[in-house]
Amino acid sequence: MNDVIRIEYKGDFVFHVAFDDGRSGDVDFSEYIGKGPIFEPLKDRSFFKKARIEGGTISWPNGADIAPETLYDKIGCQQTTAADSR
């Protein structure tokens, strides 16, 4: 399993997410907004921007997080690593 090593807020509900194997891409988290009480605070963009890397994935101060393999799948078709292009 790959770990998230860098995140960068891009706007709206989007973060650019980079993994330890060089794969990276933009992930739109808007599909999670309102999906249960843990994701409810993410509606507030100022709270949404407080995301951090914890345990190899993106998480928020209230304990909301997304499994790293889910994020990896979401960006999988966006960018190839240098090793993939050989």
- Answer yes or no: is pLDDT of 2 > 50: yes
So what's the pLDDT on residue 78?
64
DSSP result, 52-86? EEETTEEE-TTS-B--HHHHHHHHTTT---TTTT-
Rounded alpha-carbon distances, angstroms, from residue 19 to 71, 72, 77, 81: 9, 8, 14, 10
So what's the pLDDT on residue 82?
46
- pLDDT tens digit string along 20-66? 999 999 999 999 998 999 999 999 999 999 999 999 999 999 999 99
Please state the φ and ψ torsions of residue 52, each to the nearest 5 degrees. -145, 170
